Structure 1
């Protein structure tokens, strides 16, 4: 027997072994996915979301185990390593099984229809266009811009942003007034009509205020090893440092104060000041600073507060959200839902909307943007997607600022990848948000790391820029980066266009 014949026999044996192992994997996936779909029964009221939920169930079942042992052997046979199966999970496995059957000589192969592989990406692209606006040409990733107060003064700023490449606009109801929101939207609608395009507007509900409410000694810089106090309230008129020598601060939400137990972490201002609780009493909670910038950090009112490692069971919908919700239901294309964590949060919002729009089909409601900011929201993300998407158009925003603080900066890189994969499987558009090109937007110059981050954002359906004095320039640069990246990748898949730099090598 020749060497070639021996190698061919080994290849057939390898293919048969892989076929049997992958067949077992597929059967287990199908069984688990069916149980998941049964659990979700009753949540999916939109027929068009059934296929998306089923593919998500397949993906969750498939990714329960480690696929790494399959990948190199499949690739050595010239087959898919299942590394880009998100949008067509079951069809990808069936196609690999069919090819393994042919290579292994185990009968005729039954391949899934080619159309199956295009259906999921087509649904995702249509949902992207519905949420963020359609566009002719590149980039495929849309650009969302958070509007500053100045956008209410006249149409000029919004016109600059749209001309630079913005596709949709965001209004944060934690800032400005209803009159200013209405003016911004009026400018956007008129400009969109003049340009012959739809400019969607997302209106974010403020959500629970998890911030510093008041401080005594706010001008004091705190350094590592020093302590400050969290107190229920400041004595009347006490804004300066008290006799104890410690800065005192009041938190805006009682649930946060109640969650401060000995050893707990507390981060202020996106983690610029990090501390741990060393002593708890009814009168005060003493916190020792464990990390600050070299020059120290101040505690100031309105700065955000996070308790990493603590699940705060705080309702996402508050009384203060009701007036912005009334406004959003009249004007928004998308409602941004801050601090959503559980199905109960979704049902509270659905009930509030139904009360305000009695008898209206949820298909006619604004779309819903789930802002993923906490570990609890992250754990519940599949269920949140299905319950929301089963009722109304839905998207997911990776709120990377709060999320990084809550789960740890070092974990954010992998978690944002996993959110992208999960949402692609669910055929749900994703917004890549927080600090994109922040140096450019705020100071007029981007760092190298920010440019790389902007390039990575191309795998999401939309990228959000926050406000700053150089916002229009930021939009223009981001538009250029996304357009360039479209030549090279689509989601996780590299595009193998010609390498222009070395075409004559």
Structure 2
């Protein structure tokens, strides 16, 4: 333990020194240093040590994300005492409560700075994506606020500046009427990689495994019937990033394929690997993903730059799609500084982590963003699942939660939360469990739908109940009331 503590402190300090030029915001210094220590610690396989510590009734180090050195000091000091020796001078054993729980306080403070204060009796906030009608129906906003909504999301891929302005005004007015502050997150669209015009075989059948599909830089060639499946790739520059063996997913992963060959004229021949039973339709305006491929796209499109002119005057937070690395964050920060030079650091950034490259670069993204302004991470589970594979999604979203907790950075749990309830009015069993797991994030996002008010109310109750059971990875052992008798005998109640 002494050696582990020494090495983690030394390696963490080296990582932190590398980051220091990016740390213009002193409030993030403690989070950055703890993140550096966490990265140093997690380079090691600690499982044998964990089991040894458990046998002695000590912490197994499994919940130290927010307080790495403080936990190592507490365990090390206890071991010294058990061995009959005084804890090392300066160790601070046991750690003072303020030092030991400083990470929790920092995360709570950062979440409040970004999302606003939580409602009474729950820590997790509820974020709702607004439909277009929210611009002209103030009653809809009031209803959502009364049911428990804390923040709104405006998707700048839809509608226009006039509607966004009315949505934001209605949200803030509804909050004021209920004595609450409703923050506004505006999501800039980012590059859209999709199919353009498509061409089907003469029998208009569906794509099946084994079929071929030609992706072209322009509209499909019109050469008469029976020519097979073809689709335009938008933007065409994506085709330059393809090579034989490149993986391609279409329509949120409903169709998976692999590049078999590059064709004259910049086209690519794909072999279909998987669809649902019965095949899948090929349609225009469906998303294209190239998992593991660096697409070389600017995350800020000309539309995004134009939209930012409006966003900086309306939003408390900017949602950043398709962010890949720290340089992308710096690019957005420069644009914010250009539009609001006096106070651009007051605008929060929410980075949507939706690719494997973004996951791998997450530590540097955290430092570049939170080192300058309020910052949060959105786990965008839709595109992320397509990019890394559905089998790894649960594992990666856990690792992202751990990393952000180590940096004291708040997280938004997003994509299809209570989706069936939002759309149909009745949840599935699985999505209620998923929503309960979402309570470990500082904010949970619901998509728009006809029953979103009911979903807000259900999520509000669920988050309040889960707050009594768990905080992040730590269970709260409050008294359970589900079993009041055992073997017919009453159990004494506290």
Q: TM-score, normalised by structure 2?
A: 0.94
What is the total number of aligned residue pairs between the two structures? Answer: 479
Separation in structure 2 between the aligned mates of residue 212 and residue 235 of structure 1, nearest angstrom: 11
Question: Does structure 2 retain, via aligned residues, the 8 Å contact 1:87–1:117?
Answer: no
Structure 1 residues 468 and 136: CA distance shift in structure 2, 3 A: closer
Q: Distance in 1 between matches of 2:468 and 2:485?
A: 19
Match of residue 249 from structure 1: 231
Deviation, 1:377, is: 0.7
Please, what is the CA RMSD of the aligned residues? Answer: 1.7
Q: Distance in 1 between matches of 2:453 and 2:343?
A: 38
**Contact 2:218–2:236 (CA<8 Å) still a contact in 1?**
no
| Per-residue deviation, 1:23 | 0.7
Q: Gapped runs of 5+ residues in structure 2?
A: 487-494
* Distance in structure 2 (CA, Å) of the matches to 1:244 and 1:229: 14
Contact 1:168 1:201 in 2 (8 A): yes
> Which residue matches 2:348?
367
Instruction: Answer with 339-348 or 487-496: which moved more.
Output: 339-348
Match 2:319 to one of 332, 336, 341: 336
Q: Which residue of 1 aligns with 2:360?
A: 379
Offset at 1:244?
A: 4.3
Q: Which of 135, 145, 150 is the aligned partner of 1:167?
A: 150
Which of these residues, 16, 22, 41, is aligned with residue 62 of structure 1? 41
Query: Partner residue of 2:420?
Result: 439
2:218 alignment partner in structure 1: 233
Q: Closer, same or farther in 2 for the Cα pair 1:223/1:476, shift >3 Å?
A: same
Q: Secondary structure at the match of 2:306?
A: helix
- The C-alpha deviation readout for 1:104-163, integer Å capped at 9, x for no partner, is 112246412221122211121122122222233232111111111121221122222212
3-state SS of 2:21 partner = coil
Alignment of 1:334-483 (within 5 A): 334-358=317-341, 360-364=342-346, 366-483=347-464
Match of 1:130 among 113, 123, 141: 113
- Where does residue 270 of structure 1 map in the other structure? 252
Q: Distance in 1 between matches of 2:467 and 2:335?
A: 40
1:212 equivalenced with 2:198 (yes/no): no
* Matched position secondary structure for 1:234: coil
Residues 311 and 375, structure 1, Cα contact 8 Å, conserved in 2: no
Cα pair 2:425 2:451 within 8 Å, conserved: yes
Query: What's the counterpart of residue 176 of structure 1?
Result: 159
d(CA) in 1 for partners of 2:24, 2:467? 35
Residue 243 of structure 1: how far off its partner (Å)? 3.0
Summarize deviations over 1:228-257 as a string: whole Å, max 9, x none: 210111169x6xx95343121112123321
CA separation in 2, counterparts of 1:437 and 1:295?
28
Task: Report the 3-state secondary structure (helix = DSSP H, G, I; strand = E; otherwise coil) of the residue aligned with 2:119.
Answer: coil
* Structure 1 unaligned spans of 5+: 1-21
Inter-partner Cα distance in structure 2 for 1:388 and 1:57: 16
Q: Decide which of 123, 129, 132 is 1:149's aligned counterpart.
A: 132
* Alignment partners' CA distance in 2, 1:80 and 1:432: 28
Distance in 2, Cα, partners of 1:287 & 1:331: 44
> How far apart, CA to CA, are the structure 2 residues paired with 1:317 and 1:108?
53
Instruction: Give the one of 295, 299, 311 matched to 1:312.
Output: 295
1:100 aligns with 2:84: no
Per-residue CA shift, 1:54-77, capped at 9, x if unaligned?
A: 111111111110111111221221
1:258 aligns with 2:240: yes
C-alpha distance in 1, partners of 2:296/2:29? 30
